[in-house]
Amino acid sequence: MRVLLVEDEQPLAAYIAAGLRKHGCAVDVAHDGQQALNKCDITPYDVVVLDRDLPVVHGDTVCRLLAQRGTARVLMLTASGAVSDRVDGLALGADDYLGKPFAFAELVARVRALARRSTPARPPVLCARDVELDPSRRTAERDGRLLSLTPKEFGVLERLLAADGDLVSTETLLDKVWDEHADPFTNAVRITVSTLRRKLGDPPLIETVTGAGYRIAP
């Protein structure tokens, strides 16, 4: 899941970004409204977590422009939890609204719920052969054996299982599981798939399609 966090308070932005990454999100950060719009011009985000009171370009304007584009779900954050502010935010085109301070678990749940709305419906637990992955609980098992996966390994496995046997390109994995700091020429995806295969064990689950990407083996 690719997320853009737009928050001008840099310590808070760093805290939220770190927490979302621990929950398997690929997170880019912008500290003002213009940066946010520039990043959205380049990258297709699943969810934009948008602070309302932003410098350079106000969050209300950013929200309205993103809603017009219709390319990402917007979760608006604000220091005010008043009903009138929530109504205003939703009227601007926000898909959801969360007042500060908030429980981090609720933020994660809302981001995941919005991401599900931006993609075709899929089962709550992803399965292939003897592998089960539960995105909400952040658990993955093979034949009843709990797998100890890094966030990147979990993200790759989640993408492959969600594709239901269809090919997933290296570029898609890099875009959805990593973030804007990932080198497009890196071998990070290949290395992560290699360690994931080792943890999954036999029989092999992930098939490489040379020059194209990966898929769950039929």
* CATH architecture assigned to 2-117: 3-Layer(aba) Sandwich (3.40)
Better-predicted residue by pLDDT, 191 or 121 = 191
pLDDT of 192? 94
Name the residue ranges covered by the structural domains of the chain: 2-117, 126-216
d(CA 70, CA 191): 35
Q: And the tokens for 78?
A: 């604000």
% of the chain residues with pLDDT over 90: 59
Count how many residues are written for the chain: 218
pLDDT of 120? 56
pLDDT at 116 over 90: no
pLDDT at 91 over 90: no
pLDDT of 23? 87
Rounded (10°) angle between helices 10-22 and 104-117? 70
pTM equals 0.68
Among 1.10.10.10, 3.40.50.2300, 3.40.640.10, 3.30.365.10, name the CATH number for the domain at 126-216: 1.10.10.10
Residue 159, SS3?
helix
pLDDT of 119? 62
d(CA 40, CA 66): 8
Helix, strand and coil in the chain, % to nearest 5: 40, 20, 35
pLDDT of 78? 84
Banded pLDDT at 208 (limits 50, 70, 90) = very high
Let me know: does 16 contact 48? Beta carbons within 8 Å.
no
